[in-house]
């Protein structure tokens, strides 16, 4: 099969099934996965599709959550507090919590009761400052290089410190969430830190305000198989949530 014929085959498959799995295509065409991946890379450069781990999906809109922090504060003004309240209700006294940076996680800590006994580990100065007036919460700050876009610390020192802690829950803020592309964000180092936090937590809870659903950002954080819970707004289209339920992920409606 010539290159242009393979690419047309891939486009037809994408239109028909909504995704391309490189291994399945290589088996069907009896070609190497490297050949299929090369075709997909070239097609992505031509703007015909979007590459994801293991294959490709149709082109999707970029997430508004990639905007600067100040702009993100004005997005989903009603949804984020509701998601924060639902997430806060998942916490038990005495737990060790990883809490991400970002505007949705900030709403989470604002919903925590003053009498809560817990330990919060965070790489976000904004989250740490917000917890100053919670006298029964022990706050552990993770150091590193300040990534100003998200107001969080990143880098090797951050990842190393995370590896020495075991948390009950990790509340993850994300830029994008998609059934095939998984959980993605706009910065490579930030993705590495989020992945380390997820690996070090018994349970990962993704906080997903409406603008983040069905979008893709450049850097994958972790496969959806590593996620235990997703918190979304109550009126979210059930068709968007169905793939996550099929994966066994618990959906909390805020």
The pLDDT assigned to 66 comes to 54
* 178 and 216 Cβ atoms separated by less than 8 Å: yes
The pLDDT assigned to 74 comes to 47
Q: Check pLDDT > 90 for residue 70.
A: no
* Top-confidence residue, 52 or 232: 232
Cβ neighbours of 15 (radius 10 Å): 9
* 96 and 118 Cβ atoms separated by less than 8 Å: yes
The pLDDT assigned to 1 comes to 74
Q: Check pLDDT > 60 for residue 62.
A: no
Percent of the chain past pLDDT 90, that is, above it, reads: 53
* Top-confidence residue, 169 or 174: 169
* Top-confidence residue, 182 or 110: 110
* 168 and 203 Cβ atoms separated by less than 8 Å: yes
* 174 and 212 Cβ atoms separated by less than 8 Å: yes
Tell me the pTM.
0.77
Closest CA to 198 of 177, 176, 167: 167
- Cα(234)–Cα(231) distance, rounded to whole angstroms? 9
Q: Check pLDDT > 70 for residue 83.
A: yes
Q: Check pLDDT > 80 for residue 63.
A: no
In the sheet where 55-57 sits, what is the strand order?
A: 20-21, 55-57, 50-52
The pLDDT assigned to 245 comes to 93
Q: Are strands 145-147 and 50-52 parallel, antiparallel or unpaired?
A: unpaired
- Cα(69)–Cα(74) distance, rounded to whole angstroms? 9
Query: pLDDT band for position 59 (50/70/90)?
Result: low
List, in sequence order, every residue forming a beta bridge with 21; answer none if it has no partner: 55
pLDDT tens digits, 98-143: 999 988 999 999 999 999 999 999 999 999 999 999 999 999 999 9
Burial of 114 (0-12, 13-18, 19+ CB in 10 A): exposed
* Top-confidence residue, 202 or 180: 202
Q: Check pLDDT > 60 for residue 207.
A: yes
Full 3-state SS string of 208-248:
CCHHHECCCCCEEEECHHHCCEEEECCCCCHHHHHHHHHCC
Average pLDDT taken over every residue of the chain: 88
- Cα(24)–Cα(35) distance, rounded to whole angstroms? 13
- Cα(108)–Cα(87) distance, rounded to whole angstroms? 7
């Amino acid at each position: 099969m010539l290159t242009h014929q393979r690419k047309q085959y891939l486009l037809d498959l994408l239109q028909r099934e909504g995704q391309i799995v490189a291994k399945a295509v290589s088996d069907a065409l009896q070609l190497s996965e490297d050949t299929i991946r090369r075709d997909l890379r070239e097609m992505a450069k031509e703007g015909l599709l979007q590459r994801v781990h293991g294959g490709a999906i149709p082109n999707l809109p970029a997430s508004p959550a990639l905007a600067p922090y100040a702009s993100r504060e004005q997005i989903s003004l009603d949804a984020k507090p509701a998601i924060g309240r639902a997430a806060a209700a998942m916490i038990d006294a005495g737990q060790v919590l990883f809490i991400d940076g970002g505007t949705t996680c900030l709403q989470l800590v604002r919903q925590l009761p003053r009498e809560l006994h817990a330990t919060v580990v965070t790489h976000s100065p904004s989250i740490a400052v917000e917890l100053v007036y919670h006298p029964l919460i022990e706050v552990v700050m993770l150091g590193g290089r300040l990534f100003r876009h998200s107001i969080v610390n990143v880098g090797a020192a951050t990842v190393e410190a995370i590896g020495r802690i075991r948390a009950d829950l990790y509340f993850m803020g994300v830029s994008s969430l998609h059934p095939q592309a998984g959980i993605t964000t706009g910065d490579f180092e930030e993705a590495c830190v989020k992945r380390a936090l997820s690996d070090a937590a018994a349970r990962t809870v993704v906080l997903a305000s409406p603008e983040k659903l069905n979008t893709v950002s450049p850097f994958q954080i972790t496969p959806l198989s590593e996620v235990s819970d997703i918190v979304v707004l109550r009126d979210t289209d059930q068709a968007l949530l169905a793939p996550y339920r099929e994966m066994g992920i618990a959906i909390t409606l805020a």
